[in-house]
């Protein structure tokens, strides 16, 4: 039996999770949960990384108080955002939140210096203004003094590992989200660094997924009484960890990591960097064992989260279960939005944005929370279908089933709608795929598991999924035609 700790940081909440692996099965326990979210400082959106680290330490102390000594610990997080630091000064400035407006128009400004074709050929990463590349370019133009002071930047998950171990290392799955990483060479893109005039010194050394970094720092080891605990660079990107934990065997399957974002793709042996994959705005991110996560990053349950937040401000405290129940009771396929419309990427007044979109497109306007959430769920399901069609076209692979993991897999309604829209079976679970993947990659790194296939078998044996068969083919075929006509 071995214990492991996953520090699982998401855009809405963070968790300290305990995993116990024994006899080929994994047990998971949530030790501490805390909100993350943006902090407004002046006119900027930031991450209060010091507060997040204090919350992490609270969770670790709870474990230590139970006299649990883990074999290892590792962090996963969302991508693109980062922290600057230098020797003797572990934090130079609070990191920006990817929803800060500073990089609006960033890709277009970058294309004036380096063609989009060159950037994609070098990185295989889809163009999103939130990418690290455009954040660094904004820094070089407006915060050159901070860049000059920094020894390195590290993306969020790797930065927490650095605070725990003192080891500077950028893990490939997280580094690959930056749009400055070359997946063919498995190295930082020297070409883009040079052409954009970025300082080479800030780019940290790279390590593969599942690399032991070293012992827990002396300070933490003594406080927690964990002298033998090691820090591991697991799949530091939360989606990388989640995909590692997809309980799939064989071929012809796709995954959907469903949370604040929806990340839909396949596991490919090599990057797919073509004019067609660029036109469809797909991305090639590093995965476990040198694989490529060929996927598209699309808006997900963020829209639901923002609706709930808007109603809470009005005095209506709906739980997510409440909203799912109300959506299930609402009339099906009454109105649709295109979730990729830019208005839905920004916070605030989400129900009104949905109503305005329906008015602009001549549709019935949802006037209740149930109708609004039903509209969002059905629209997301249709976007899954459209994305799967594109994925099959660029990969040449026929997709026969869809595995949904993450928080979104808890929704029976959304899972069934996904099966209806895609007209293929949907297998839901595990919910805690990100933390599970984090922990089992640690086990793999320490030699407690022997292969990625064995890792996935542990997931299948420990967390049985639920399968949803497609229904109502004619109605959903008609809905797809309507969806394809919507503006994005």
How wide is the angle at C-alpha 315 spanned by C-alphas 313 and 317, nearest 5°? 95
Reply yes or no on whether the pLDDT at 307 is more than 90: yes
Rounded CA-CA distance 46/27 in Å is 34
Rounded CA-CA distance 35/21 in Å is 27
Rounded CA-CA distance 341/360 in Å is 13
Q: 312-316 contacts: CB < 8 A, separation 24 or more?
A: 316/369
pTM of the model: 0.90
Name the catalytic one among 8, 238, 317, 348.
238
Domain layout of the chain by residue ranges: 2-238, 246-429+450-488
100-110 pLDDT, tens digit each: 999 999 999 99
How wide is the angle at C-alpha 441 spanned by C-alphas 437 and 445, nearest 5°? 175
Rounded CA-CA distance 277/123 in Å is 12
**Exposure letters 360-378 (e unless 16+ CB within 10 A, then b):** ebebeebeebbbbbbbbbb
Rounded CA-CA distance 428/403 in Å is 6
Are domains 2-238 and 246-429+450-488 of this chain identical in fold? yes
- Positive or negative CA dihedral for 329, 331, 335, 336? positive
Rounded CA-CA distance 227/444 in Å is 21
Q: State the average pLDDT for the chain.
A: 96
Reply yes or no on whether the pLDDT at 346 is more than 90: no
2-238, superfamily in CATH?
A: ATPase, nucleotide binding domain (3.30.420.40)
Q: Is 238 a catalytic residue?
A: yes
Reply yes or no on whether the pLDDT at 364 is more than 90: yes
CA distances from 413 to 332, 416, 473 (A): 11, 5, 16
Q: Give the H/E segment covering residue 7.
A: strand 2-9
In this prediction, residue 423 has a pLDDT band, given cuts at 50, 70 and 90, of very high
In this prediction, residue 438 has a pLDDT band, given cuts at 50, 70 and 90, of very high
In this prediction, residue 53 has a pLDDT band, given cuts at 50, 70 and 90, of very high
Give the pLDDT of residue 113.
97
198-239 pLDDT, tens digit each: 999 999 999 999 999 999 999 999 999 999 999 999 999 999
Fold of 246-429+450-488: Nucleotidyltransferase; domain 5 (3.30.420)
CA distances from 303 to 58, 154, 344 (A): 31, 29, 7
């Amino acid at each position: 039996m071995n214990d492991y700790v996953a520090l699982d940081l998401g855009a809405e909440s963070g968790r300290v999770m305990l995993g116990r692996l024994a006899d080929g099965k994994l047990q998971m326990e949530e030790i501490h949960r805390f909100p993350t979210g943006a902090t407004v400082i002046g006119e900027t959106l930031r991450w209060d990384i010091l507060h997040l680290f204090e919350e992490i330490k609270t969770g670790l102390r709870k474990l230590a108080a139970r006299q649990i000594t883990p074999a290892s610990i590792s962090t996963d997080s969302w991508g693109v955002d980062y922290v600057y630091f230098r020797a003797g000064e572990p934090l130079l400035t609070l990191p920006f939140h990817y929803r800060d407006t500073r990089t609006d128009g960033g890709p277009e400004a970058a294309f004036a210096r380096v063609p989009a074709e060159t950037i994609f050929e070098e990185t295989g990463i889809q163009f999103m203004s939130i990418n690290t590349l455009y954040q660094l370019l904004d820094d070089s133009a407006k915060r050159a003094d901070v860049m000059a002071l920094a020894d390195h930047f590290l993306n969020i998950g790797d930065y927490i590992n650095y605070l725990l171990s003192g080891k500077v290392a950028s893990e490939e799955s997280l580094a690959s989200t930056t749009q400055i990483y070359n997946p063919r060479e498995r190295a930082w893109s020297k070409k883009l660094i040079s052409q954009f005039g970025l300082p080479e010194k800030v780019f940290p050394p790279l390590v593969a997924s599942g690399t032991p970094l070293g012992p827990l720092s002396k300070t933490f080891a003594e406080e927690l009484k964990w002298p033998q605990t090691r820090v591991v660079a697991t799949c530091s990107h939360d989606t990388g960890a989640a995909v590692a934990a997809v309980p799939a065997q064989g071929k012809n399957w796709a995954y959907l990591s469903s949370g604040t974002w929806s990340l839909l793709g396949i596991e490919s042996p090599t990057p797919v960097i073509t004019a067609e994959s660029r036109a469809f705005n797909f991305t090639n991110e590093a995965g476990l064992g040198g694989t490529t996560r060929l996927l598209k990053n699309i808006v997900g349950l963020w829209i639901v989260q923002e609706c709930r937040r808007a109603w809470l401000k009005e005095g209506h405290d709906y739980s997510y279960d409440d909203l799912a129940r109300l959506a299930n009771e609402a009339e099906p396929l009454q109105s649709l939005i295109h979730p990729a419309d830019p208005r839905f990427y920004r916070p605030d007044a989400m129900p009104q944005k949905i109503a305005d979109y329906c008015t602009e497109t001549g549709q019935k306007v949802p006037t209740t929370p149930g109708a609004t959430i039903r509209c969002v769920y059905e629209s997301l399901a249709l976007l899954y279908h459209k994305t799967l069609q594109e994925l099959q076209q660029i990969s040449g692979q026929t997709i026969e089933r869809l595995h949904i993991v993450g928080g979104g897999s808890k929704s029976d309604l959304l899972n069934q709608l996904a099966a209806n829209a895609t007209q293929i079976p949907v297998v839901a679970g595990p919910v805690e795929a990100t933390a599970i993947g984090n922990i089992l990659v640690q086990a793999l790194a320490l030699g407690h598991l022997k292969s990625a296939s064995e890792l996935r078998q542990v997931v299948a044996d420990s967390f049985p999924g639920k399968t949803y068969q497609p229904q109502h083919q004619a109605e959903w075929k008609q809905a797809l035609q309507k969806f394809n006509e919507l503006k994005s």
